[in-house]
Amino acid sequence: MDSRIPGFYKQDVDERRHSVAERANLAADAVAAIEGRGLDPVRADTISENVVGTLEYPLSIATNFRIDGEDRLIPMAVEETSVVAAASYGARMAREHGGFSTQVTGPHMIAQIQAVGVDDPFAAKQRVLDAEDRLVDLANEEDPVLVDHGGGCEAVQARVLDTDRGPMVVTHLVVNVQDAMGGNAVNSMAEALAPEIEALTGGTVQLRILSNLADRRIARARCTVPPEVLADDDWELDGTEVRDRIVDAGAFAGSDPYRAATHNKGIMNGIDAVTTATFNDWRAIEAGAHAYAALDGYAPLSTYEVNAEGDLSCSVELPIQIGTVGGATQLQPVAGAAMEILDVDSADEFAGVLAAVGLAQNLAGLRALVSEGIQHGHMSLHAKNIAIQAGAPSDLVDEVAERLVEEDAIREDRAAELVDELSE
């Protein structure tokens, strides 16, 4: 499969769906789901509470991705203009030198068990650690299926926290959750161990819940980009200047949390759009990413350097808690189809793909920011939205939008005038 689809953006929606269905070998029901038979309200009512309807996003495909030597089409659902175009462009630049390489530490989640009112917290910590084998066995009794699949609780850690409410003993269960996101598995284990932890610590167990700071589940992606690929004929900057400015942008983020927040938001634009398209818990990934970024003072999750060949060397590292089994994906037919398009075989592979998408997104965003700015790219789609809001019929939308951009007057009043003029 080739993820380069020249002229994809110029095709209409039906043609694009056809191109993707053909390349991704989509089953007929997946194509039908994407075509518009989305989430049935009866099913929606089983996913959340007080359901009154369903909400749709555009489902887009980012092209050009090559990840660990394999081409992939990337489904993205996002309400923001330019995100999908930027991801595709970032992937195109990375492709020049073979695309992205990824590395994932393995699918380990942490569950926390909080014990309060412990008289001898430091000794209690040691009693918990002494009981590690028994605690691991008890935790694993909770999920024999996970254990049968090679996963399960693998270790116990214990910490003493000095809090505003006195010392607390916090036990961590480190659980290999295999191809699941793992939230339910680790929460059940933590709940099941509460009586045992109370007996060991002599305290009272209160919270029993996973940590979204999933620092035992780190995904990394990297790519290199030759400077000439970074340039644009319309700019006065050459490729090495663009490259150096991107390195400057990375350094700016590295020294300033105000900038690092936006820099990281750019990375998450890509990651969240894929997790939304596949109906996954993007809040968990967001929480983990920002907590990880803040471990030593809030910092950017990606870095930009110049390598010995003079290429831009780009890398990203963040916790990614995502699964390919369980979760809500299969409840939403369009998300199921998105997973077919993505074609990942394991949670680790999925996490690597997400890291690569985040890096592509960030790279393309920075390239625009250090040169023409991001508004330019936003404008043509924005102009189309303004034309539609001003009442342009579908056969006039493109023409009205082009005129608005040419005249540098992307306003509804001018769009309305143009609609009148062109309709005569």
Selected from 209, 291, 328, 374, the binder of ligand MEV by CB under 6 A is 374
CA angle 81, 86, 90 (to 5 degrees): 170
Q: Which stretch binds ligand MEV (CB under 6 A): 121-129, 202-210, 216-224, 264-272?
A: 264-272
Q: What is residue 119's DSSP assignment?
A: S
Closest approach, Cβ 85 to ligand MEV, in A, equals: 12
Q: How far apart are CA 68 and CA 340, in angstroms?
A: 18
Query: Residue 265 interacts with ligand MEV (CB under 6 A)?
Result: yes
Tell me which residue has tokens 């056809």.
18
- Give one DSSP letter per residue of 352-372, joined into a string: HHHHHHHHHHHHHHHHHHTTT
Is 420 known to be catalytic? no
Q: Which is nearer to ligand MEV, 127 or 265 (CB)?
A: 265
Is 412 known to be catalytic? no
Query: Residue 155 interacts with ligand MEV (CB under 6 A)?
Result: no
Structure tokens at 54: 């369903």
Closest approach, Cβ 361 to ligand MEV, in A, equals: 8
Query: Residue 251 interacts with ligand MEV (CB under 6 A)?
Result: no
Q: What residues pair up with 167 in beta bridges, in sequence order? A: 162
Site for ligand MEV in 290-319 (CB under 6 A): none
Structure tokens at 151: 């996963």
Q: Is residue 249 a contact partner of residue 66, using CB atoms and an 8 Å limit?
A: no
Closest approach, Cβ 177 to ligand MEV, in A, equals: 31
Closest approach, Cβ 265 to ligand MEV, in A, equals: 5
Is 125 known to be catalytic? no
Tell me which residue has tokens 């029993």.
208
| Three-state SS annotation for 151-212 | CEEEEEEEEEEEECCEEEEEEEEEEECCCECCHHHHHHHHHHHHHHHHHHHCCEEEEEEEEC
Closest approach, Cβ 402 to ligand MEV, in A, equals: 24
Closest approach, Cβ 58 to ligand MEV, in A, equals: 16
Query: Residue 269 interacts with ligand MEV (CB under 6 A)?
Result: yes
Q: Which stretch binds ligand MEV (CB under 6 A): 140-148, 178-186, 265-273, 318-326?
A: 265-273
Q: Is residue 100 a contact partner of residue 221, using CB atoms and an 8 Å limit?
A: yes
- Give one DSSP letter per residue of 292-351, joined into a string: HHTBTBS--SEEEEE-TTS-EEEEEEEE----SBSSSGGGSHHHHHHHHHH---SHHHHH
The residue sitting closest to ligand MEV, measured at its beta carbon, is 266
Catalytic residue from among 15, 80, 228, 309: 80
Q: How far apart are CA 287 and CA 267, in angstroms?
A: 14
Query: Residue 5 interacts with ligand MEV (CB under 6 A)?
Result: no
Selected from 365, 367, 371, 392, the binder of ligand MEV by CB under 6 A is 365
Is 191 known to be catalytic? no
Q: Is residue 348 a contact partner of residue 320, using CB atoms and an 8 Å limit?
A: no
Query: Residue 382 interacts with ligand MEV (CB under 6 A)?
Result: no
Structure tokens at 250: 């990375």
Q: Which stretch binds ligand MEV (CB under 6 A): 153-161, 257-265, 310-318, 327-335?
A: 257-265
Query: Residue 263 interacts with ligand MEV (CB under 6 A)?
Result: yes
Closest approach, Cβ 80 to ligand MEV, in A, equals: 6
Active site residues: 80, 265, 281, 378
Binding site for ligand MEV (CB under 6 A): 80, 262-263, 265-266, 269, 365-366, 369, 374
